Chain A
Amino acid sequence: MSKIIASAAIRGARRIFAQAEAKYREALEKYGPDQEIGFPNTAYYLPIIYSMTGTAVSKVKDMERVLDMCRRLIPPPVRESVPLPYLAPALDAGMATFFAEEMIEAVRYLEEPDRYAADSEEVTEGTMWLGAANDVIFRKRGVEFVDGTAPGFAAIAGAAPDAATAAKIALELQEKNLYVFMVGQNDGKRFAEQLVEAGVQIGWPTRLVPFGPDIQQAVFAIGFACRVAMAFGGVRPGDFRRNLIYNKDRTYAFVLALGDVTDEWYANAAGAINWGFPTIADTPIPQVLPTGICTYEHVVSNIAHDQIVQKAVEVRGLKVQVAKVPIPVSYGPAFEGERVRGEDIYLEMGGGRTTAVELTTSKNMEEVEDGRIEVIGPDVPDVEAGSRLHFAMVAEVAGRNFQEDFEPILERQNHHLINQAQGVMHIGQRDIAWIRISRQAVERGFTLKDIGRIIHAKYHQDFGAIFDKVQVKIYTDEAKVREVLDVARAAYAHRDARIEGMTDESTETFYSCILCQSFAPSHVCVISPERTGLCGAYNWLDCRAAYEINPEGPNQPIQKGAVIDERYGQFRGCNEYIRKASRQKVENVSLYSLMVDPMTTCGCCECIAAILPMCNAIMTVDRDFTDMTPCGMKFTSLAGSVGGGAQVPGFLGHSKYNITQKKFLSGDGGLLRIAWMPKRLKDEVYERLKKRGEELGYPDLPDMIADETVAKTEDEVLEYITQKGHPCLGMEDLL
């Protein structure tokens, strides 16, 4: 830390602390000490304070203690000559700055409840500032950090000189798959406002997140990182050191300081260094190049706007694999969430108004000419803006290593792959696909042929190891589309029957998934045909394909070996593997139980099941349900206790699909133990639930399972299921 930076950071910290103190006094006077306070819909209180100190600030009076800590952390100003060492005090001051800012923001939520668009992923009519991510948004986005689709984030303070430069920087960051968290202003301009001016879509879906108009909202970015460590890394609140080092090693975040760096900015930048997040500035401020707290340099300055993203990525030590796809628009996961609506739509296919169908199928080697892309029927240049077309895409794949089982795996990728093109929206799959192409994309020259190019390029990049050639045929002629639809539907039915028929007993090989170990180092998934991955993204076939594609990768075959316990699903091979892969953190794992050695979760699970002891039953809740559940915990608290690779009997993370798989909790009584789930989840899996209930002799099972419309507490669940005669009441004691 140069003396200039440290001096400024300490001055800034002192000023921000004074504001926090004043805000606290105001709040105390206006609302009283017992007024509840905090960020909306989160189990992590004020997350920086909570993660660093273990202090849960939930009432106004709780802030007094934190203010005391700040007083001890903030050092006296740096002496002009013969100064005492200032790096450490400045880092401490930076930490105190974040504590103070979190408290300022908490009071702000109280004073101006409409300042931020609470619980919204996108800009609303009332405000463009999104504020702290609630736990639903946090988990959804956090998963992308964990699985590697988002390697980190850029926290942008200030503004670019003009809207065009801002848009260019944002695009470059998006192309590197990074999230962009925007705060503060420079010379009255704000980066987020500049993006809106340039016509860029902002919000969580496009990874361009306008947190707030002032520098203080930097705490929403840092708080996000703190929560990642707690939710996925299993770091306990108060274990500040592990949290900080976790973030240094795993969350590839950095600060881009655009514009005049004020004392307050310096204070925030100093704070961020504690997390290993360096600052890259476009102004000629002093640099701090020696390494140690961050992976590489701490402050790098005077970087031109056309180099600043590249420089930042290098300083942070991040290797980004950027997909090269030969299409006229940008391409990457950051563009997945972008919407194409209303006047923006140039061409629409599917979505109920026309037919749209996608099929990936295997062919003989000689039938496929690699890279051949045909559009049969009208393409974009042949239609007017605002048109609709029918659509059928057949990807024909061939190769020595290609197996029929891989067809659906590739096909299922179409959604992501097409959706990642800038200005193209893709929803659904199979025969319910829905594609919109925007005017902007068309202006840049995007045609249907480019969809074929995406498929060709990305299939090769991501799955090159399992096939040799792929050609794509796109039909827009209605009669041809109908023909393809019939063929496709037959293929879907064939596949479904095959998957349904697979059992754990039918194979000796299960697969591991340690994709999430980048963030949850002790978590290991074991995936069998009847237990799909808890994130919902990987089934046994996916893992098998992933292993074929990359034999050194995160999915490894596990020879399940001798059966140790048939009921709970314990296998010698699985146990041996899990001990090694969890680095001795987990001893044994049951595939079919939440009571005995349940499988751990990284925190990415779609649902969490928990016991309801009074009911002798189990409930499950998905992560979109934010209310209280009958077990007395919200999803986010449940995730807090089981996430991060901890083995907690009585709780289990699982996917939605798994609920209706035959082995679901079979050691604990199976699906018939389920006494409660949220209404929306029940509706989503209704068909399969009903079918499975019938198989088990309870055709009314969906109705017997309580939801929040009939039971909010365990007592109410008991009353409901008793009235319905739910089978769990007659089952053996769970405990």
Chain B
Amino acid sequence: MADGKEKSIDKATVELIDKAQREDISTVFSRADTLKPCPIGVEESCCKICSMGPCRMPRSRKGEGTRRVGVCGATVDTVVARNFARKVAAGSAAHSDHAREVVITFLKTARGESQGFSIKDEIKLLEVALDFGINIEKRDVKDIAIELGEKALNEFGKQSGELIYAGKAPLRRQEIWRKLGVLPRGIDREIVEVMHRTHMGVDQDYRHILQQAARAAIADGWGGSMISTELQDIMFGTPVPVLGSINLGVLKEDHVNVVVHGHEPLLPEMLVAASRDPGIRELTEKVGAKGVNLAGMCCSANEILMRHGIPCAGNFLQQELALVTGAVELMTVDVQCQMQGLASVAECFHTKLITTSDRAMIEGAEHVEFHPEQGLDIAKRILAMAIENYPNRRHAVYIPAESQDMVAGFSHETITYLLGGLFRASYRPLNDNIANGRIRGVAGVVGCNNVRTQHDAAHLAMIRELIRNDVLVLTTGCSAMACGKAGLLTPEAAHLHAGGGLAEVCEAIGIPPVLHLGSCVDNSRILIAATAMVKEGGLGDDLSDLPAAGAAPEWMSEKAISIGQYFVASGIFTVFGTTWPTLGSENVTEHLFREYEDMYKGMWAFEQDPVKAAGLMIAHIDKKRKALGIDKGRERVLFDMAMRRAME
């Protein structure tokens, strides 16, 4: 078995991989050594949608000889497109089902039926209500919230018309969507339609299949994900910059360690509230612990970090390793990205693994189902379970020393504020410094970890390359956490890693060169921020005009494909690393990588080398700068009275 150092770039992770190996604990890292990816599946040239197959249609090593078709005659293009579309549908479903849960909790909160939840950001409530066309004049906040909840819920099951939030996109973008027939009607409908169209014997034109994939993806980015972010902000507060810390070193030996893993912030919010309860404090003292130490994992971590500064234990590939420390009394999981392997790691220690969502159970885990009606009580019960488990530690605890401070909590709203203060809040300074070239462009680097590539390495290599070239990076999800661990989410990183222009701007504002925008549903914040840049003016009139690009260098989940697809469909050039799921069909790849540029003004690319991938992004940014006419230095304009008169 290989050395931990090849598996991860992160020291704490390496230490715990080695510890697991020494103690013969099976983790994602050890399993990956023994289980190689299927060579046909990796290119998606295999069809399993009917029982006449599976039909395997690998590319010929000697070049294309015969036309590759399944027994029904489906071409490899159809097969690859169907597989791709189904990934998009699954990803969109994941984000949107998360969103649905948020909306339901929001409605219960508005109606006073939930426990522990409230409307924390009334201003945002009013803003979002206006976006939804709700009359807010002389109305009670509660009424507005109920109407908003109902309207938001309606977005999922709506059968016709247009998604309300799509109206937030720049007008030019909406026109493109209408022209291409991809403006979503309702969130669920688009996902269902993908499943139908990709059933045996339905849609068998790869371009047409991928059109619906775009529609389902837009329903995620400009639908489910966006609704989720916005309503979470209203309920839990819109994030503002906070100081946090990250990496497995945030676990504390003398505390009751509770790791909150998963994606939905509902229970985590309640756990934060419950951890401050005097009753819980008393219980903790009884077992001789110094307190309850909540730590996040994956996107649940991002949510409570963004709003409360709760420390992050780590990202996706560190989930099992957190338990390998032997210091975790309890880990809660809800939905998405939680490995079943957790159960067997937990068994090696005293750790309790608790599933909390009615949609997700794990064999061997205890199930404590979360319901917003008893939100706070359930949270307290879970903390009590953890505290009771503290005396059961039976192994020597090993917590790596690594813990890094970081600044998180950037949202569209706070970016506006940070650029000009309360009185002059706007995107103008950002646009200005892009136009004058101090900032070359903006990149959204997001997505997962993937055990098939060195943990965190691709994220960091790409992001360092981008910021070195004066590209401001917006990040979310596991990518954000990789940056946090590497110290890129500190203002000091600007001097150390960023190019002169970007560093100067960061120094002026007091921000890191990489901005943590939240969890993976919060990629919608990137769309909103990009739209705000367009609306501020001077950088074109569509998202595709911006000197911007997106990437997920270590992606692994279907959600990442959905995110990528909605970035691309929104006009943003997007590069993925690790592996690419359409390599089985040259036509499909050609369609996504090139034809999309004419259609959506944004397209996909695949590049395993993160530095080369960054190069592609920078080249695209430069192309856009040239198109905007901001590729050359501009002369200083001095204003006389006549020019002032001509101003609007």
Contact = CB atoms under 8 A, between A and B. Distances in A.
B241 A244 contact: no
A86 B508 CA distance: 8
B510 A87 contact: yes
9 contacts: A78-B510, A85-B407, A87-B508, A91-B422, A151-B640, A289-B504, A292-B433, A317-B637, A583-B648
A288 B503 CA distance: 12
A84 B244 CA distance: 11
A244 B423 contact: yes
Contacts of B423: 52, 91-92, 95, 240-241, 244, 274
A85 B418 contact: yes
A1 interface: yes
Interface in B119-144: none
Interface stretch (A27-35, A193-201, A513-521, A626-634): A513-521
Contact of A92 (B421, B438, B640, B647): B421
A521 B638 CA distance: 20
B422 A95 contact: yes
B504 A82 contact: no
Interface of A: 1-3, 6, 52, 73, 78-79, 81-92, 95, 148, 151, 240-241, 244-245, 249-250, 252, 274, 288-293, 295-296, 298, 313-314, 317-321, 514-515, 517-519, 521, 553-554, 583
Tell me which of B424, B436, B492, B639 has the highest count of chain A C-beta atoms within 10 A of its own C-beta.
B424
A3 B492 CA distance: 11
Nearest to B640: A319
A9 to B, nearest CB: 11
B510 A291 contact: no
Contact of B645 (A240, A289, A296, A517): A517
Given A85-B510, A151-B641, A91 B424 contact: yes
Give the interface centre of B242, B491, B508 by most chain A CB atoms within 10 Å. B508
Contacts of A73: 422
Contacts of B647: 249-250, 518, 521
Contacts of B504: 289-290
A659 to B, nearest CB: 29
A6 B648 contact: no
B258 to A, nearest CB: 25
Contacts of A81: 405, 492
B107 interface: no
Given A88-B422, A290-B432, A296-B636, 12 more contacts: A81-B492, A85-B509, A88-B419, A90-B421, A244-B424, A274-B423, A274-B424, A290-B429, A290-B504, A291-B429, A293-B428, A514-B645
Interface string B595-612: 000000000000000000
B510 A84 contact: yes
B508 to A, nearest CB: 5
B507 interface: yes
A82 B429 contact: no
A97 to B, nearest CB: 12
B593 interface: no
A314 B638 contact: yes
A292 B421 contact: no
B508 A290 contact: yes
A88 B418 contact: yes
A92 B422 contact: yes
B641 A518 contact: yes
Nearest to A79: B243
Interface string B606-648: 0000000000000000000000000000001111111111011
A292 B428 contact: yes
A82 B419 contact: no
B383 interface: no
A249 B646 CA distance: 11
Interface of B: 241-243, 405-407, 417-425, 428-433, 436, 438, 490-492, 504-505, 507-511, 636-645, 647-648
Which 7 pairs between the two chains have the least Cβ-Cβ distance? A292-B429, A91-B421, A319-B638, A86-B510, A148-B641, A518-B644, A319-B640
A291 B433 contact: yes
Contacts of B430: 292
Contacts of B492: 81-82
Nearest to A148: B641
Given A52-B423, A91-B421, A319-B640, A82 B490 contact: yes
Contacts of B433: 290-292
Given A240-B423, A554-B645, A6 B638 contact: no
A83 to B, nearest CB: 6
A403 to B, nearest CB: 25
Contact of B636 (A79, A314, A518): A314
A381 B406 CA distance: 77
Contacts of A89: 421
A240 B436 CA distance: 27
B2 to A, nearest CB: 35
A293 B429 contact: yes
A82 B424 contact: no
Contacts of B507: 2-3
Contacts of A244: 423-424
B241 A293 contact: no
Residue with the greatest number of chain A CB neighbours at <10 A, chosen from B504, B510, B644: B510
Nearest to A289: B504
A73, A289, A292, most chain B CB atoms within 10 A: A292
Contacts of A289: 504, 508
Contacts of B637: 317
B645 to A, nearest CB: 4
A319 B639 contact: yes
Contacts of A250: 644, 647
B645 A95 contact: no
A91 B641 CA distance: 28
B421 A87 contact: yes
A244 B424 CA distance: 8
A477 B290 CA distance: 104
A318 B648 CA distance: 18
A1 B243 contact: no
Contacts of B643: 319
Contacts of A82: 243, 405-407, 490-492
A553 B646 CA distance: 11
A599 B331 CA distance: 74
B516 to A, nearest CB: 12
B429 A274 contact: no
Contacts of A90: 421
Contacts of B510: 1, 3, 6, 78, 83-87
A83 B422 contact: no
A88 B421 contact: yes
A555 to B, nearest CB: 12
Contacts of B508: 1-2, 87, 288-290, 298
A86 B419 CA distance: 10
Nearest to A517: B645
